[in-house]
Structure 1
Amino acid sequence: MTQPHDSHSLRFESPVALVTGGSAGLGTAIAQALLNRNYHVLIVGRDSERLRLTADRLTSEEDRTDSSAVRLHQYACDVTNLDEVAKLAEFVSDRFGRLDVLVNVVGQSDRGLASEITLKRIDELVRLNVHSTVICTKALLPLIRENRGSVVNIGSLASKIPARYLGGYCLAKHALCGWTDQLSLEMRQHNVHVGLVCPGPIARQDAGHRYDKLLADDLPPEAAAPGGGAKIKGLPPQKVADAVVDCIAKRKREVILPGKARLLIILRAIFPDWGDRILLRMTSGN
């Protein structure tokens, strides 16, 4: 893919953050939050045109007319492709000479029954939710280690507690959570912060309809709603983005949103049967 090299390699003194999935949704909100805190931000996505439109939307008119002031950068890349991510790592090293923060946002939810999941669908979800994070982190970790920086992975409440009708999403996010936990232990000796942010459903305009096409006949219509029909209010993307920035600034190990969900996680760990009863009442269906 052709990449936008807007200048020759520079030495960046201010911190640099890379956000995967930065061309839309939560990734864009996180990019904006980091820009507000004076980071140079590189947004990464597969579609170069979407990246350009997002960059135009987030960059002020003043910045667009002053190339030295531009702090938002873009790079088109499939983060599940080893070769493309290797080129991304080279670009970051050549263009910025440093990387302080990596936020792995790329992922995909699902709808369906755990008992009906296919191996093909599991492969798809693990590729998008886990492989993307592992590939990017491994490629960019040498730069992160040089600056004793941060890696923040976007998990989900589904990586901590199950919800009905989420198909293979819980499986994939639990895998991501486990890998993040182990990486955090390994990176402590290198003074690299590894954090996990686990938000509940995020409010969006197409909430309740985004997964209509995934609904099988044996699922209630409410399963298409955020969280698979869980009775929980959608989180504003900006609130989640601010939590990610706070996780980076305070080098937090884990953030659960909404915070009160942590009580349910603890309860279910101690009293699994009680926890399951609560979860069943919180989700739609019979």
Structure 2
Amino acid sequence: MTQKIAIVTGAARGIGLATTRLFLRESWQVAMVDRDEDALLEAASELTGVLPIVADVAKPDAVRNAIQQVSDHFGRLDALVNNAGVADFGPIEETDFARWRRVMDTNIDGVFLMSQAATPALKETQGAIVNIASISGLRASTLRVAYGTSKAAVIHLTKQQAAELGEYGIRANCVCPGPVRTKLAMAVHTPDIIAAYHDAIPLNRYGTEEEIGEVIVFLCSEKASYVTGQIVASDGGFESTGVGLPSLRGQS
């Protein structure tokens, strides 16, 4: 059986790195794409079966070069995971156009550029695209005007990809992570914020990077061969709930 190849963007850390490791566990090989050269090379040095590619997914020339490197090195492509993203939080009044564009460049333009460049190779294998959005693309929240809007755009782009690329056998799905227990999140989330998230999440905890990665790898696999155009919230039930959960718990 021919070994399968995935591209994972934003692969130097977090969900991207966890997803890379899970692909390797399933005997895939992975092209790890990230613009942070030092972090990428350090992460890749500890893994076998990976090709690190330093590239900014918001730059068309860099994207074309990255796809060419994958083609030259592996000769095929079975899955593209568009995970690279910029997290930027601030009030609408303080989000100037430069700040807005910085988020959009990576979070939506990068997904569009990578997907378009990878489509010819994915046609040959009837491969899969998995875009990583966010729970912030499904429900509004404070301080997320650029971030949340960019992720909502990723959700709709996924549906467009599924509608248009399905005739080639290419599947496109989207994963929307909820609060994830990353080192960065735990460093910046105060006890009050952590408690508020726990109150709002039916499973009463943050998720892990590996839990998100498991969903991504599943959607790229043959086990999901008839799944396309779907938006999967991997969020402990966060998106499904409204007010009242803490009070309900207090009665039990």
**Structure 2 runs not aligned, ≥5 long:** 248-252
Q: Is residue 165 from structure 1 mapped to residue 143 from structure 2 by the alignment?
A: yes
* Structure 1 residues 7-37: Cα deviation after superposition (integer angstroms, max 9, x where no partner): xxxxx93110010111111110000010000
Equivalent in the alignment of 1:137: 115
Q: Is residue 234 from structure 1 mapped to residue 211 from structure 2 by the alignment?
A: no
Task: Summarize the Cα distance change of 1:85–1:30 in structure 2 as closer, same or farther, 3 Å threshold.
Answer: same
Task: Summarize the Cα distance change of 1:226–1:36 in structure 2 as closer, same or farther, 3 Å threshold.
Answer: farther
2:198/2:206 contact within 8 Å kept = no
Quick one: which of 246, 257, 260 aligns to 2:237?
Answer: 260
TM-fit CA distance, 1:208: 4.7
* Structure 1 residues 54-92: Cα deviation after superposition (integer angstroms, max 9, x where no partner): 112233xxxxxxxxxxx2221111111111111112112
Q: Is residue 193 from structure 1 mapped to residue 182 from structure 2 by the alignment?
A: no
Pairwise mapping of residues 15-54 of structure 1 onto structure 2 (< 5 A)? Answer: 15-54=4-43
1:201/1:227 contact within 8 Å kept = no
- Counterparts of 1:169 and 1:211, CA distance in 2: 17
Count of residue pairs the alignment pairs up: 238
1:33/1:245 contact within 8 Å kept = yes
- Give the match's secondary structure for 2:153: helix
* Structure 1 residues 131-168: Cα deviation after superposition (integer angstroms, max 9, x where no partner): 11111111111101110000000011111111223242
**Structure 1 runs not aligned, ≥5 long:** 1-11, 60-70, 213-220, 265-274, 282-286
Q: Which amino acid counterpart does residue 42 of structure 2 have in structure 1? A: L
Structure with larger Rg: 1
2:200/2:238 contact within 8 Å kept = no
TM-score computed with the length of structure 1 as normaliser: 0.75
Q: Is residue 175 from structure 1 mapped to residue 164 from structure 2 by the alignment?
A: no
- Counterparts of 1:205 and 1:96, CA distance in 2: 33
Task: Summarize the Cα distance change of 1:117–1:142 in structure 2 as closer, same or farther, 3 Å threshold.
Answer: same
- Counterparts of 1:257 and 1:194, CA distance in 2: 16
1:19/1:41 contact within 8 Å kept = yes
Identity among equivalent positions (%) equals 27
* Structure 1 residues 84-138: Cα deviation after superposition (integer angstroms, max 9, x where no partner): 1111121122221110000010012222223543222211111121111111111
Q: Is residue 89 from structure 1 mapped to residue 67 from structure 2 by the alignment?
A: yes
- Counterparts of 2:142 and 2:195, CA distance in 1: 11
Task: Summarize the Cα distance change of 1:48–1:121 in structure 2 as closer, same or farther, 3 Å threshold.
Answer: closer
- Counterparts of 1:82 and 1:100, CA distance in 2: 21
TM-fit CA distance, 1:200: 0.3
Provide the aligned C-alpha RMSD in A. Answer: 2.7
- Counterparts of 1:121 and 1:89, CA distance in 2: 28
- Counterparts of 1:206 and 1:89, CA distance in 2: 30
- Counterparts of 1:189 and 1:29, CA distance in 2: 31
Task: Summarize the Cα distance change of 1:72–1:227 in structure 2 as closer, same or farther, 3 Å threshold.
Answer: farther
- Counterparts of 1:114 and 1:239, CA distance in 2: 32
TM-score computed with the length of structure 2 as normaliser: 0.84
